[in-house]
Homo-oligomer: A and B are copies of this chain.
């Protein structure tokens, strides 16, 4: 099943997608809901970030082939023994189609990171990796936009990965996708493929990351855990269109803009 959050007229609704139609639901999207008789053509609604999480967590380095790239940013030269979670700022959340804005005071620009995201269904505390899988509603795509100078020099990722517009997610939640079986996470910039890796190659899988976080933190319905990224992401330029596709889920597309200099 594919669950979308969308704007139609002045209101925001959840719905179930089938083909080119979205059907509004009634009830709790994280628990029990029913489809209504209200349907819309998918092309006639504006898709939004499919959830509004209370928190988002990324893992530290989570693909062995990203180690080389990370070493130049954080100095890390080997995989960590734990998932090393960090907060991705909620202010940075944005929608499919929203612009990724390069801050005028960034000296080195921003890079894409195409990722798969797990959406939590149920309040989760102190679960095992095996139990954690049952706490996931489904999966969506996300772009972990990163400003490398801030990521490297600051004491936390508050702006390096948390600046406004740095977390486009969507286009919907797929409840059938199986990251253990593996789906390729693909990034295209202006139509050219620039990144590809399988969710099956996550160093810590979603069960392990969620279990680890849940030992100290209660994850709530809608909260998001990012997969981590792979390879050697490159800088985005104003005017670019960047797409993150998780094969089997869908495509998240965002344009890139430069913030006008102030003052």
Contact = CB atoms under 8 A, between A and B. Distances in A.
Interface of A: 54-55, 57, 60, 80, 82, 84-87, 89-92, 103, 105, 125-126, 150, 154-159, 162-164, 213, 215-220, 262
A60 B153 CA distance: 14
B216 A163 contact: yes
Contacts of A54: 90-91
A91 B215 CA distance: 12
Contacts of A219: 91
A150 B1 CA distance: 39
Contact of A55 (B80, B82, B90, B215): B90
Chain B CB within 10 Å, residue with most, of A84, A85, A157: A85
Contacts of A86: 155-156, 158
Contacts of A57: 158
A85 B163 CA distance: 12
Given A163-B216, A163-B217, A218-B164, A89 B55 contact: yes
Given A126-B262, A164-B125, A156 B87 contact: yes
B164 A91 contact: no
Q: Which 4 A-B pairs have the closest CB atoms?
A: A87-B87, A159-B216, A86-B156, A163-B216
A162 B215 contact: no
A165 to B, nearest CB: 10
Nearest to A106: B216
A217 B84 contact: no
B126 A217 contact: no
B155 A60 contact: yes
Nearest to A212: B159
A213 B164 CA distance: 11
A216 B164 contact: yes
